[in-house]
């Protein structure tokens, strides 16, 4: 068994192009002994967001708090609420936004692909299928 408390996992500011006001806590990753799946906790400041991006790993999101929105490859913005879950298939362009005035928190799980670490993802040229 691997056990951690969320407060033991340091916050890392994500500085990739197009990302704003987003921190990640890499909760359970390969270096912890998780060979196949990673759990990350993402925290978005008010107005924070990811870029519209796609990668090889599928994603599963569970929104804990805040006022999230999911943006698809055509720019359609879907408001969400705490307790909502979203599945994003491999290579599907997507963006997350915090529409609220408080921190938005989301649990994000991904498979760890061969050679992966559970922190980073393999960017792809995902095409819009929506």
3 within domain boundaries? no
Residue 128 has pLDDT above 90, yes or no: no
Residue 96 included in any domain? yes
Query: What number is the average pLDDT over the span 34-41?
Result: 97
Cα-trace Rg, the chain = 14
Report the C-alpha gap between 92 and 67 in whole angstroms: 22
Q: Is 116 among the domain residues?
A: no
* Structural domain count of the chain: 1
- Asked if 2 contacts 33 with a C-beta cutoff of 8 angstroms, the reply is yes
Question: Does 34 fall in a domain?
Answer: yes
Range of the domain at 86: 11-111
Give the pLDDT score at 126: 66
For the chain, report the end-to-end CA distance as a whole number of angstroms. Answer: 40
Q: Is 72 a domain residue?
A: yes
pLDDT surpasses 70 at 80: yes
pTM of the model: 0.92
Assign residue 56 the CATH number of its domain: 2.60.120.10
CA atoms within 13 A on the CB side of 54: 13
Residue 33 reports pLDDT greater than 60:
yes
């Amino acid at each position: 068994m691997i056990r951690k408390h969320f407060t033991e996992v340091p916050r890392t500011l994500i500085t990739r192009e197009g990302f704003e006001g987003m921190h990640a806590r890499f909760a359970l990753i390969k270096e912890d002994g998780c060979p196949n799946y990673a759990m990350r906790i993402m925290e978005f400041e008010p107005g924070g967001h990811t870029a519209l991006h796609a990668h090889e790993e599928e994603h599963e999101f569970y929104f804990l708090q805040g006022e999230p929105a999911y943006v698809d490859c055509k720019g359609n913005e879907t408001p969400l609420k705490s307790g909502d879950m979203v599945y994003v298939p491999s290579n599907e362009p997507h963006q997350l936004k915090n529409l609220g005035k408080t921190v938005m928190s989301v649990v994000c799980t991904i498979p760890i692909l061969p050679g992966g670490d559970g922190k980073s993802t393999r960017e792809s040229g995902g095409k819009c299928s929506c």
